[in-house]
């Protein structure tokens, strides 16, 4: 799916990379304050980074339906690489 996104949806691919980079920055930025029971500093993600960590990009109804078709019918992932037939 990532390859399809990169090759066919450049704008969404760029947004995904930006969000992933933001999550990595938040993971690597220590916070001050409380410490864990192991003695090291705890890291707390900002709310937006925490939400983005769970959801890296938006799925519209078409992407959801294609994903369900692949999962339910046991189709290969590369089925989305075909041009299809325009009716």
pLDDT per residue as tens digits for the range 40-86:
567 777 777 777 666 656 667 777 888 888 889 988 888 888 777 66
Which are the contacts of 15, defined by CB distance < 8 A and separation ≥ 6? Answer: 57
CB crowding 11-29: b at 16 or more within 10 Å, else e: eebeebeebeeebeebeee
80 contact partners, CB below 8 Å, separation of at least 6: 1, 4, 66, 70
pLDDT of residue 38 exceeding 50: yes
């Amino acid at each position: 799916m990532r390859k399809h996104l990169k090759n066919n949806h450049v704008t969404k691919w760029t947004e995904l990379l930006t969000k992933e980079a933001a999550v990595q920055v938040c993971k690597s930025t220590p916070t001050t304050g409380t410490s864990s029971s192991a003695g090291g500093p705890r890291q707390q993600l900002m709310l937006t980074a925490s939400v983005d960590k769970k959801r890296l990009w938006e799925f519209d109804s078409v992407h959801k339906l294609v994903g369900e078709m692949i999962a339910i019918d046991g189709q290969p992932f590369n089925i989305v690489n075909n041009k299809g037939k325009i009716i």
